[in-house]
Amino acid sequence: MVTGIGPMAELKKAVFLDRDDTLIHDPGYLSDPEKVNPIEGAGEALRRLRSAGYLLFLFTNQSGIGRGYYELADAEACNRELERRLGLDPGFDGICIAPERPDEPLVYRKPSPRYILETMRERGLDPSEVWMVGDRDSDIEAGRRAGVRCARICPENHSGEEGSFSSVQAYTDWLLGSQSRSQK
C-alpha cells in the first residue's frame, strides 16, 4: 500500500454508486425488499473496493417516493436488504435517497452533485480519488458537476469506450488492477 506524508495523506478515497441497474437488476419503482436482486459479482466487487481503502456511498434517485408510489421507509428497507444480499457488513458508509420527482426543483436528485459535494467536504475526500459510478447520463453528469471521476456501467451495449464498463465487477477489476500496475 502506498502511504504519503503531509496533509494530502489525510484525504480519503471513495466510490459513489448508483443503485438501480448498477448494483441490482431494476424491476422499476422497487419498494419490496423481497425483490432486491443484486447483479452478479457486485457484492464481491464492493468488498474488494472497501479492502482497498475506498469508502462506499450509495446515491440513488427514487422518484417513486415523490410520486407517492411508496414511502422513504420502503426505500430504506430495500437498501438494508441490498446491503445484506451484497454481504456488506458494515453497510455503506453513507446513503442518499433522492425522493424528488423529475419535474420538481432538484435538491439531491441526480444530476445534482449536491450529495457528492457535501460528502466530500464532510468526510475529507480527495476529488482525484473519488468516483461516481452509474448507468445513466444523470449519474455521469452528477459526477462531472462535482468534479470527480466517472465510470459508466453499460451491461447491454458495452462498447469498450474509455470510462465505460460492462459491470461494477469489471470496473473494480480495472480500478484495482490499474492501481497495482501504477505502483510498480
Of 11, 21, 29, 170, the one binding Mg ion (CB under 5 A) is 21
- Which cell numbers hold the place of 99? 425522493
Spatial distance between the Cα atoms of 69 and 50, rounded to a whole number of angstroms: 33
Judged by CB, which is closer to Mg ion: 53, or 161?
A: 161
Instruction: Exactly one of 18, 74, 135, 139 is catalytic; name it.
Output: 18
All 3 cell numbers of residue 154?
453499460
- Out of 14, 15, 17, 18, the only residue in the binding site for Mg ion (CB under 5 A) is 18
- The distance of closest approach from Cβ of residue 4 to Mg ion in the complex, given in angstroms and rounded to an integer, is 34
- Residue 24, classed as helix, strand or coil, is strand
Which of 15, 20, 39, 116 binds Mg ion (CB under 5 A)? It is: 20
Candidates 7-15, 18-26, 125-133, 161-169: pick the segment binding Mg ion (CB under 5 A): 18-26
Amino acid code (one letter) for 69 = Y
In this structure, are residues 21 and 154 in contact, taking their beta carbons and an 8 Å threshold?
Answer: no
Which residue reads 480495472 in cell numbers? 174
Q: At what angle do helices 137-146 and 114-123 cross, to 10 degrees?
A: 40
- Give the residue ranges of DSSP H helices in 2-106: 42-51, 63-66, 72-86
In this chain, which stretch among 11-19, 79-87, 98-106, 169-177 interacts with Mg ion, using CB under 5 A? 11-19
Say whether 93 is catalytic: no
Which residues inside 109-168 make contact with Mg ion, applying CB under 5 A? 135
18 is catalytic: yes
Catalytically active residues, by annotation: 18, 20
Contact residues: Mg ion, CB under 5 A: 18, 20-21, 135
